[in-house]
Amino acid sequence: MWLFQDASMQLPIYLLCASMFMLILERFCLLAIRMDERAKLYSFLTFIIRVSVLGITVLMILFGDRDFTVVVYGTLIGQMLGDCVIVLLCLPLLNVANFRIDRQMIRKMWTFGFPIFIALAIEAIFTISDRFIIGLRSTYTELGLYTAAFKIASLLKIVQMSFTSFWVPTAYRWYAEKRSMAHFQLVSDFVAGGFSFLFCGDPYF
């Protein structure tokens, strides 16, 4: 009722619960590939997910009811199909034959990850609060228009995501190789200079 204002809309909730578990597997598989700096495979698998979501959504629009549920079903089913492809390609990562719990590693991961969890939680709140408030105070039509416009404006984040996706594993490798801080400073200066140039060269500013 809270999500769809319809008590009969139970199937999307079940699909959402299933997709959450699939997203966990997807996340760890893609992280393993990303940290190995296998850029082509990482990009290919990410592309497969997007194509799967788009394909299922288009099929449901063509052969199903043309309402908001096709987007919900298309996104969830397409995401899970794409995740199945990723899991099949990454089966060696899921080998649990010699699995054992490393308590020391868990403590290190908790210590390292807890501040990141706090930062991501705050970012998520700020990210969804605007749409949540618009959904409460306005219509779904206006919420859809706002979300579509926001997606267009967020195209610039592709540059940021492309950089951070492959800079993080490179930075960890450089740290393991005990490279000097001059290498990290050079990358930082290059990124800051590049974005400053783009900002100053934008005619709207």
Give strand ranges (E) for 38-168: none
b or e along 109-131 (b: 16 or more beta carbons within 10 Å of the residue's beta carbon)? eeeeeeeeeeeeeeeeeeeeeee
Predicted confidence (pLDDT) at residue 195 exceeds the cutoff of 70 = yes
**Rounded CA separation 74/62 (Å):** 12
pLDDT at position 131: 79
The C-alpha angle with vertex 71 and arms to 70 and 74, in degrees rounded to 5, equals 80
Tens of pLDDT, residue by residue over 96-155, are 777 788 889 899 989 988 998 898 888 888 877 887 788 778 777 787 788 777 777 666
For 148-168, what is the mean pLDDT?
A: 71
What average pLDDT does the chain have? 80
Q: Whole-model pTM?
A: 0.62
Predicted confidence (pLDDT) at residue 156 exceeds the cutoff of 70 = no
Give me the percent of the chain exceeding a pLDDT of 90: 1
pLDDT at position 205: 46
